[in-house]
Chains A and B, each alone.
Chain A
């Protein structure tokens, strides 16, 4: 089975771009399943189901959605196997730019919005720099010059990636993206690893502390001046 993991900032157009790519893949008679992970709310799974694709969804609630995705990979692959799928596409919720949900044997796809400005590729970190494919959306509303600058910045961050200019409204780039999906390698769950470590969960805020006063802070604390301290047992 091929595993495609799609990540990107909220509102970048992950679902819109995927819907077009899924139509192209279906035309090739490849049996796919989709899993949509969001944080608090989603209706996107209904849009995939409308295309006749078996789709499950999960809400991570107050947990990091990328952690949630990893914890549930076994359930999601089992879902795809029950549906006799050759391909599983997981769409994750973009959130904090610190991690990347891609596993070593999956195809990592980053969807990024070109209207967010030329510095965005420098800000978003590992979900861009460890992706195999970068789909740039909303490029149709900015100038050619800005597109080229944006593209250059992506290459700076991820020199080996395949860049696709996609459009969630018109379906531009969908065929190219679908082709990348079908060329993905075989996914093996048993010994697979993350390409980039998940964000550290190392202070008491991570486990539910709500008091803001400094005297309650415990764990590994990083200060604005760059100094890192440990407080606790």
Chain B
């Protein structure tokens, strides 16, 4: 059971110490990772994924529940810490939603009864209904992303979810994040989408291969996020009206 993950500072590309000493994250927390291309975002994620023990280029160390993790955990592929959701992902498997979810739950040793729950929650995130007899490959971007989110929330075991640049997927972002954090996941969001970035409680700012600083989302940013979320919700409704061929009314 993962109760906390700690990141202990290493060095940046110039060999200088990073701008923090230790970051502690707990299940349910949403934490942002921001910075330009090449700033070291991926290396940070990889350190967490590999449970680095000062043996990667960044010299960072990752602790689980305040202890050095068991080396077996590091290499057991079934116990991978991070599940990923990104804009580039597609379903390529040529099978129905039901068969696919059954196969995945079998692989993870989960109750096949879960699949109804997954489909129910996926439907709460998208405007276009998903049913179990649909073929995966015909799902729209929004339907696919919603199903991926619900699947990660209930079937994947990984305690950490990495959300990588989900920007215009046509899903209810706020609800998606709430579903994941509510199922006890630690959520890392790598994004420059203002709505997602401001939804986090903290942001890790990357620069030159190292963490430059970590700061709490301010009160003002939280208020702004609420406003942005209302706009996003409104856009979602308008998008559905356009999709259904309706005239958009104010």
Contacts and interface: CB of A to CB of B under 8 A. Distances in A.
B152 A140 contact: no
Contacts of B104: 145, 148-149
Interface stretch (A3-11, A48-56, A169-177): A169-177
Interface stretch (B59-67, B87-95, B190-198, B240-248): B87-95
A117 B95 CA distance: 11
Contact of A142 (B55, B57, B80, B90): B90
Contact of A151 (B77, B85, B89, B91): B77
Contacts of A147: 84
Interface in A106-156: 115, 117-118, 140-149, 151-152, 154-155
B25 interface: no
B: interface residue count bin: 20 to 34
Interface in B4-61: 42, 46, 50, 55-57
Given A140-B86, A144-B83, A148-B107, A117 B93 contact: yes
Contacts of B94: 117
Contacts of B77: 151, 154-155, 163
B103 interface: yes
B155 interface: yes
B224 interface: no
Interface of chain A: mostly helix, strand, loop or mixed: helix
Interface centre among A142, A145, A155, A173 (most CB of B within 10 A): A145
Interface centre among A140, A144, A163 (most CB of B within 10 A): A144
A162 interface: yes
Contacts of B75: 162
B54 to A, nearest CB: 13
Given A145-B156, A148-B107, A118 B85 contact: no
B50 A142 contact: no
B88 to A, nearest CB: 5
A152 B75 CA distance: 14
A141 B88 contact: yes
Contact of A149 (B50, B84, B107, B144): B107
Interface of A: 24, 27, 115, 117-118, 140-149, 151-152, 154-155, 162-163, 170, 172-173, 175-176, 179
24 contacts: A117-B93, A140-B88, A141-B92, A142-B90, A143-B91, A143-B148, A144-B83, A144-B84, A144-B85, A144-B89, A144-B148, A145-B100, A145-B151, A145-B152, A145-B155, A145-B156, A146-B92, A146-B93, A148-B107, A148-B156, A152-B78, A155-B77, A163-B77, A175-B46
